[in-house]
Structure 1
Amino acid sequence: MRNVLLATAALTLIAAPAMAQTVPTNPVTGSVGYTHLDTDGGDLGAITGRVGYDFTRNFGIEGEASIGVKDDDVTIAGVSGKVEHDWDAAAYGVAKLPINENLELFGRVGYGTTRVSADVAGVSASADGESVNYGVGANYFIDGRNGIRADWTRRDFRDDGAGEADTYGLSFVRRF
């Protein structure tokens, strides 16, 4: 029995390089698009840019940054005000499932920071929130290099009572 286990382990080590995947022809991707942030405090919008690197066809990393472009009017205790998304940044590990040459599904998990501001009755305040982020999406490449991306990401903020936010994004994506 011991010899069978040792032989199996040796065959696994010999076959491991064959299981390794090569780096894709175009491992770097970039995207720019619009992200809608759905929060308890308001519905906000941002322009989002991303850069990613694929180590294999199925695994990579991705960084993103956003700048707020759509504010929301709010009413607190009968007083009108405004909530603004200033910026956010995040880094992710990404797992991809290629369906065919043009379509790939992905899941991502990462960590980010978000800054929002509020102005109610002339009183301004801003806050930063750290979050664990996770989501899913799809990339569809029209010509193999240029395509569109749709994604959903949940941001679970780490501060007590800070809540969560759902983001929905639509972007132009390009492989380099």
Structure 2
Amino acid sequence: MKKLILAALATALLPASALAQDAGAIGGAFVGGQIGWGKRSVDLDFGLPGVEDFDKSRSGIDYGIFAGYDYGVGQNFLVGVEAGIGLGGKTLRDTPIAGLTAEIDPKWNYDVSARAGFLATPNLLVYGRVGYGAERTRVSTVSTIAGVDSTSEKGWSDGLLYGAGLEYGLNESASIRTEYRHRDMDGGYAADQVLAGLAFRF
């Protein structure tokens, strides 16, 4: 990402009846959808005289789908794995030097993570998440400088994903959740999200 610009920039359903039993009974596959607030930010220090840092952030709506598997451990604990695909994010744009505008345009993202949590009440799970997240972006430079071409290239920015949330069992087959998560990716690029989701177990 930085090189291009310089050249031209496991969730659970937690059914109420099951939660009142041994946590080991809360297992199995699930699918769901989520939507919420997302912010993309970039902080690139080019380290060149007369070239300003690319330091921008923008917020918007993020949404996506997820699927995974959970397994109860003992009476009050749960572990699981989850994978998701998402969309969202607005174009980040800056002008490091006069006549050269750099843009980072988010396209779509995916993540794979593990989750572990405990039952604060028979229906409420408190959990943390850690894993891997990646986002597809288009990085472009628009030049009006003589001898410097405009460029455009798609690529990936990836790195550590972590977060925490709450999930509440509505009934035997559905739950709702709210979660904060952060993706700290390469190229000085990062994403923060606050998402609300609905999950179904089968």
TM-score using structure 1 length: 0.70
**Equivalent residue number for residue 149 of structure 1:** 177
**Equivalent residue number for residue 112 of structure 1:** 133
**Equivalent residue number for residue 84 of structure 2:** 64
Matched-pair contact (CA < 8 Å) for 2:59–2:90: yes
Aligned residue type for 1:100: T
Matched-pair contact (CA < 8 Å) for 1:26–1:175: no
- The answer to which structure, 1 or 2, has the higher relative contact order (CA under 8 A, 6+ apart) is 2
Of residues 37-46 and 108-117 in structure 1, the stretch that sits farther from structure 2 once superposed is 37-46
Q: Check 1:43–1:125 CA distance in 2 against 1; reply closer, same or farther (3 A cut).
A: farther
Q: How big is each residue's C-alpha offset from its partner over 1:7-53, in whole Å with a ceiling of 9 and x where there is no partner?
A: xxxxxxxxxxxxxx874345222220114331224324332111121
TM-score using structure 2 length: 0.63
Q: How big is each residue's C-alpha offset from its partner over 1:52-100, in whole Å with a ceiling of 9 and x where there is no partner?
A: 21122411111111133x5347453688887532111111111011122
Matched, 1:96 2:117: yes
By how many angstroms is 1:120 displaced?
6.0
Percent identical among aligned pairs is 21
Alignment partners' CA distance in 2, 1:129 and 1:73: 14
Matched-pair contact (CA < 8 Å) for 2:27–2:69: no
Matched-pair contact (CA < 8 Å) for 1:84–1:117: yes
SS state of the match for residue 99, structure 1?
strand
Matched, 1:54 2:48: no
Q: Check 1:124–1:145 CA distance in 2 against 1; reply closer, same or farther (3 A cut).
A: same
SS state of the match for residue 171, structure 2?
coil
SS state of the match for residue 31, structure 1?
strand
By how many angstroms is 1:140 displaced?
1.4
User: 1:120-159 maps to which residues of 2 (within 5 A)?
Assistant: 121=142, 124-157=152-185, 159=186
Q: Check 1:162–1:73 CA distance in 2 against 1; reply closer, same or farther (3 A cut).
A: closer
Aligned residue type for 1:62: E
Provide the aligned C-alpha RMSD in A.
2.8
**Equivalent residue number for residue 169 of structure 1:** 195
Unaligned runs of 5+ residues in structure 1 are: 1-20
Q: Check 1:43–1:81 CA distance in 2 against 1; reply closer, same or farther (3 A cut).
A: farther
